[in-house]
Amino acid sequence: MSNVVSLFSDTQKYEERPVVVLADDDPSIRLMVRHVLESEDFDIVEAADGLEAIKAVEKHHPALILLDAVMPGIDGFTTCQQIKEKGHTDIPVMMITGLDDDASVERAYEVGAIDFITKPIKWAVLKHRVKSVVAKVIAERKVQLLAYRDTLTDLPNRLLFADRLEQAVIRSARSQTSMALMLVDIDDFKLVNDSFGHDAGDKLIKAVGTLISRSLRRADTIARLGGDEFAVIIEGIDSPEDAISIADNLTTILEHNVRLDDQETYTSASIGIAIYPEDGKDARTLLKNADTAMFRAKENGRHCFQFYKPEMSVSAMERLELENSLKAAFENDEFMIHYQPVIDINKNEIVSAEALLRWQHPDKGMIQPTDFVSVIEDSGLIIALGEWVIFSACKQIRVWEDAGLKDQHVSINLAPRQFKEQDLVALFTQAISENNVEGSALSVEVTERTLIDNIGEVESTLKKLRGMGIKVMLDDFGTGYASLAYLKNFPVDVVKIDRAFVTGIPDNHEDSAVVDAIAGLTRGLKLELLAEGVENERQLNVLKGLGCQYGQGYYWSKALPGDEYEQFYMNQIYNIV
């Protein structure tokens, strides 16, 4: 490994007054050299012998070392050799010697010296040579500083972090102590970038870097790995409880309102933790396991920290296998769409159907969307699959209408990534045109989370879709993301009560209160209300009493393949008294 760690330690950066270590057993020589070089703005660290010189180099990492060839104990040649063997190959060494024979000169170069000054010393020559060598070292260090530092935060970058982590593992192994690696990821950073602009995002990154740096010891390492991800190395911990205390402190200080110019935004972070040696005995394994733990922290709701556990790696492998299986399933036409009827609960009529994705696995049979939809969205497969759903639903409407089922209506779920990475208006325009259906035959369903993920872009797209006659439905309302402001300002026609609340009525008083409040809210805003997950008549009667217009659930029917839905519609089979 390169000696990056010693070159850019947290306790030493490029000095305005470069350090020169001077080792000579003659105090009068040291006094004269100090006098000459300090007048040129060098800081001189003196050593009376070789061992003191080695210690001074370890502590100060100077720009230049001046060594007397002949000293008591270990001589200058041996001192130079040991300094180089300790990894300080980037620090130039000049020998000061009264020995001018060829053997001594040759030996000086063999052990790593770059030049030598003969005694008696010519002070003008010494001054000139020292200034020339140090200027070159400082220039090289400035270049290396740019290569190993993040330009936005001035923190170590990924390259320097990798070296720091390697060195920390070596030190921990040598001292038989534990260390913690923490990966810190800012929650919802993209939302800040999209809402306030990239300049604001950069300011948030700098603010978070400063907050983390202030909370750590000088001996700890913080690095920016890129994007919104930071890494923290904590050496010399006595137990996992030490890591818990530090991580808890980090999550607390990062739960912070940050002012970006004239606007204020809330920030929090998710942290993954891997402990040496339990979670890995090398840098690569520790980094991989900390990343796995950080991903689990995100899954667990964000704004938390998570220690690595071996079963997480199994879960990560299973997720990768599932992702690959899903891509193969799309290529092999294993996906299908089922349609769940939506009922006008007052007229007892089918008014619509929700298009729901299903996976017909060749070995495992029918797989429900709860087992794979999140992976589809995260992996990006949602883009191709979402387009297929839009065209398939429009094609199904055409099939039904050709079979005599008039005024059919289908709602299609849209994911956040589709708004960011697809031209949804163009897709719907093409699908409607190719299948000769009306825009009014379609609805789109978006979750509260989708609304706030990219406010401007989502709002603009929904308004254009609505202008084509397509209704907008707000799905899973009440789960905690959206507020009254979103209902008032976004182009929403129908609000869907999340099934989690419908399941609890009428026996669960909290669920009943939530449903009652949502019903009152939608009445006040003149929005239609649809209840998901209706399973019995008691729930239906409560919903009717609250003025809910529509319902869907197993009380009427599960989601059905297109041909079975057609039969269901034709038979008008309802389990309503």
Higher pLDDT residue, 463 or 372?
Answer: 463
Residues 125 and 184 in one domain: no
Question: Highest mean pLDDT: which of 95-99, 497-501, 526-530?
Answer: 526-530
Note the pLDDT of residue 241. 84
Note the pLDDT of residue 484. 57
Judged against a pLDDT cut of 90, whether residue 454 lies above it is answered with no
Residues 467 and 414 in one domain: yes
Residues 130 and 237 in one domain: no
Lowest mean pLDDT among 2-16, 43-57, 158-172, 326-340: 2-16
Determine the Cα angle at 213 with ends 210 and 218, to 5°: 145
User: Is residue 473 within 8 Å of 465, Cβ to Cβ?
Assistant: no
φ and ψ of 179, to 5 deg: -145, 160
Integer angstrom CA distances of residue 414 from 47, 57, 137, 435, 524: 72, 62, 58, 20, 27
Question: Highest mean pLDDT: which of 9-18, 96-105, 215-224, 552-561?
Answer: 552-561
Q: Which residues have a Cβ under 8 Å from the Cβ of 330 and sit 6 or more positions away?
A: 381, 384, 385, 388
Residues 418 and 557 in one domain: yes
Residues 370 and 511 in one domain: yes
Residues 217 and 273 in one domain: yes
Residue among 154, 292, 266, 260 at smallest CA distance from 213: 154
User: Could you identify the residue written with the tokens 């936005």?
Assistant: 152
User: Over pLDDT 90: what percentage of the chain?
Assistant: 47
Assign residue 231 the CATH number of its domain: 3.30.70.270
Q: What is the pTM of this model?
A: 0.54
Judged against a pLDDT cut of 60, whether residue 47 lies above it is answered with yes
Burial category of 16 from C-beta neighbours within 10 Å (exposed 0-12, middle 13-18, buried 19 and up): exposed
Residue among 526, 565, 568, 517 at smallest CA distance from 549: 526
Return d(Cα 413, Cα 390) in angstroms, integer: 9
Strand, coil or helix: what is 449?
helix
**Read out DSSP for 369-412?**
GGGTHHHHHHHTHHHHHHHHHHHHHHHHHHHHHHTT--S--EEE
Residue 536 CA neighbour count, 13 Å, CB half: 7
Judged against a pLDDT cut of 80, whether residue 10 lies above it is answered with no
Domain-terminating residue out of 130, 148, 166: 148
User: Could you identify the residue written with the tokens 């009529």?
Assistant: 349
Residue among 507, 432, 435, 494 at smallest CA distance from 462: 494
* CA 224 to mean position of chain CA atoms: 11
Residues 296 and 336 in one domain: no
Domain that holds residue 194: 158-308
Note the pLDDT of residue 486. 63
Return d(Cα 258, Cα 268) in angstroms, integer: 10
Return d(Cα 435, Cα 397) in angstroms, integer: 8
Dihedral through CA 35, CA 36, CA 39, CA 43, nearest 10?
A: -70
Return d(Cα 246, Cα 219) in angstroms, integer: 14
Q: What DSSP element (H or E) covers 430?
A: helix 424-435
Is 280 a member of any domain?
yes
Domain-terminating residue out of 148, 166, 193: 148
Higher pLDDT residue, 103 or 551?
Answer: 551
User: Is residue 469 within 8 Å of 440, Cβ to Cβ?
Assistant: yes
φ and ψ of 6, to 5 deg: -70, -30
**Average pLDDT of the residues in 16-26:** 90
Judged against a pLDDT cut of 50, whether residue 74 lies above it is answered with yes
Note the pLDDT of residue 571. 81
The count of domains in the chain is 3
Note the pLDDT of residue 317. 62
Residues 28 and 104 in one domain: yes
φ and ψ of 98, to 5 deg: -90, -5
Return d(Cα 235, Cα 4) in angstroms, integer: 18
Return d(Cα 104, Cα 76) in angstroms, integer: 11
Q: What DSSP element (H or E) covers 72?
A: none
Residues 259 and 384 in one domain: no
**Average pLDDT of the residues in 424-453:** 90
Judged against a pLDDT cut of 90, whether residue 536 lies above it is answered with yes
Is 436 a member of any domain?
yes
Confidence band, pLDDT 50/70/90 cuts, at residue 32: very high
Tell me: the pLDDT tens digits for 254-265?
886 667 666 666
In this structure, how many other beta carbons lie within 10 angstroms of the beta carbon of residue 554?
13
Is 259 a member of any domain?
yes
What's the longest Cα–Cα distance across the chain?
Answer: 114
Determine the Cα angle at 128 with ends 123 and 130, to 5°: 95
Sign of the Cα pseudo-torsion (4, 10, 14, 20, in order): negative
Is 320 a member of any domain?
no
436: left (phi over 0), alpha (psi -120 to 50) or beta: left
Q: Which residues have a Cβ under 8 Å from the Cβ of 355 and sit 6 or more positions away?
A: 337, 338, 339, 389, 392, 393, 396, 410, 411, 412, 413
Which is it for strands 178-186 and 229-237: parallel, antiparallel or unpaired? Answer: antiparallel
**Average pLDDT of the residues in 436-459:** 84
Integer angstrom CA distances of residue 184 from 151, 181, 208, 215: 19, 10, 10, 13
Is 521 a member of any domain?
yes
Domain-terminating residue out of 308, 340, 367: 308
**Average pLDDT of the residues in 87-91:** 86
Note the pLDDT of residue 479. 58
Is 440 a member of any domain?
yes
User: Is residue 341 within 8 Å of 405, Cβ to Cβ?
Assistant: no
Assign residue 43 the CATH number of its domain: 3.40.50.2300
Over the chain, what is the mean pLDDT? 86
Note the pLDDT of residue 9. 38
Residues 278 and 363 in one domain: no
Tell me: the pLDDT tens digits for 107-165?
888 999 999 888 888 999 999 999 999 999 988 888 777 788 888 998 999 988 999 99
Residues 404 and 422 in one domain: yes
Residues 93 and 185 in one domain: no
Judged against a pLDDT cut of 80, whether residue 565 lies above it is answered with yes
**Quick one: tokens of 176?**
């038989």
Is 70 a member of any domain?
yes
**Average pLDDT of the residues in 431-452:** 90
User: Could you identify the residue written with the tokens 């639903």?
Assistant: 393
Higher pLDDT residue, 413 or 491?
Answer: 413
Confidence band, pLDDT 50/70/90 cuts, at residue 97: confident
Return d(Cα 423, Cα 179) in angstroms, integer: 48
Assign residue 458 the CATH number of its domain: 3.20.20.450
Judged against a pLDDT cut of 90, whether residue 537 lies above it is answered with yes
Is 229 a member of any domain?
yes
Confidence band, pLDDT 50/70/90 cuts, at residue 315: low
**Quick one: tokens of 59?**
């502590």
